[in-house]
Amino acid sequence: MMPKLVVLLRVKDGIFFVHEWLENVGKLVDEIVAVDNGSTDGTFEVLKAHPKVVDIVQTEGFNEGRDKNLVYAMARKRNPDWCLWIDVDELFEPELTRADFERLMRSKIVNKYGFRRFHFVDREHFAGSRYRLHYSAGHDRLLWRESPQGYFENVIIDSPNVKGISGLRVNTDFRLKHLGYINKEIVDKKADIYRAIIPEKEETFQEMYLHNERKIKWEDKRSSLKVRKMNWLLTYLRLTTIFPRIINKIKGFIKSRLKPGLQKQVQ
C-alpha cells in the first residue's frame, strides 16, 4: 500500500495563485486540508469545490500559529502517513511527479525531507543576489512523517516549520517556485497585515519587494547543467554556514539549561 500524503494549506485571498496551485499540488498529494483566513476574493469557494480538498474551514483575525495548528488537527483526522506544508504562492517544479514523492516516503529511516524555495522577481526569473541565494540554499519547506509529537509554534506571525518531529532529516534538490513577490498589490496587502502587528519591522517588509535584485532565468529541466550548477552552488553556500549554525545551536542549548539568574550574567 502506498503511503498517504496530505498537504496543509493556510490561505487568505489567494485567488491570484489558487487555480495554478491546485493543479500543481493536486497531482502530487492524496488530500488537501485548508484553513481560509477570511478570503473575500473567491479563494474559499474555489478550494471547497476541488475534489482533493477534503476539509476546509474559515477563521477570523490574523493568527498564523492558531491556524496552522488547526489545519494540522484537520490533517490528522485524515490519518496521513506523511504531511506537507507549502503556501498557495509556492509551486513545485513541473518535472516532479508523485513517483518522486513516493520514493522519498518509502524510506524506513528518514522522517523529514527539506525542499529549497526560489523567490521569483517575475514569472521567468528568480532573485539571484548573494543574500537571496543564501536564503534559497536553506531547505525551509518540509515533508514529514506524521507523528503525535508534531506541532506548530503558537505565535501570531511568522510561525515557522513544524516542530517536534524527531529523527533523520534529509535535504533534497527538489525545488519550489515562490511567486508571492511578483505581484506588488499582493505584497502591499501582506506588508500592511504584518505592519499592523509588528510595525517596528518596516525594514523587513521592504525586503519583500525585491528591489534591484539580480535576475536569474529559471530552467525547468532538472537534469540541465545550469540547474545542476545552481544546486552545487547552493550546497556550497549552505556548507559555508554550517559552523556558525552549530555554534548558535550550542549557545542556545547551553542558554536553555542555565538558571534564570545565570542567564542574566551571560547576557
Adjacent-strand bridge partners of 168: 110
Read off the pTM.
0.89
pLDDT of 253 reads 65
CA distances from 207 to 17, 160, 181, 215 (A): 21, 18, 10, 15
pLDDT in tens, 62-104: 999 999 999 999 999 999 999 999 999 999 999 999 999 999 9
Side chain identity at 136, as an amino acid letter?
S
Mean per-residue pLDDT, 237-244: 85
3-state secondary structure of 181: coil
Mean per-residue pLDDT, 42-68: 97
Q: What is the DSSP string of 10-45?
A: EESS-HHHHHHHHHHHHTT-SEEEEEE-S--SSHHH
Taking 90 as the threshold, does the pLDDT of residue 248 lie above it? Answer: no
Neighbours of 40 (CB within 10 A): 9
CA distances from 237 to 113, 170, 231 (A): 19, 17, 10
DSSP conformation class of 240 = T
pLDDT of 8 reads 98
Long-range Cβ pairs for the range 221-228 (8 Å, 24+):
221/95, 222/93, 222/95, 222/173, 222/175
Taking 80 as the threshold, does the pLDDT of residue 121 lie above it? Answer: yes
pLDDT in tens, 166-224: 999 999 999 999 999 999 999 999 999 999 999 998 988 899 999 899 999 999 999 99
- Residue 139 burial by CB count (10 A; 0-12/13-18/19+): exposed, middle or buried? buried
> Confidence class of residue 130 from pLDDT cuts 50, 70 and 90?
very high
CA 60 to chain centre: 22
Separation CA 55–CA 71 (nearest Å): 9
pLDDT of 2 reads 86
Neighbours of 103 (CB within 10 A): 10
Taking 90 as the threshold, does the pLDDT of residue 132 lie above it? Answer: yes
Average pLDDT, the chain: 92
148-183 as b/e: b if 16+ CB within 10 A? eebbbeeeeeebebbeebeeeeebebbbbbbbbbbe
Q: What is the DSSP string of 108-123?
A: SSEEEEEEEEEEBSSS
Separation CA 111–CA 210 (nearest Å): 34
pLDDT of 222 reads 97
CA dihedral 29, 33, 34, 35 (to 10 degrees): -150
With residue 186 as reference, give the H or E element that holds it: helix 184-197
pLDDT of 267 reads 42
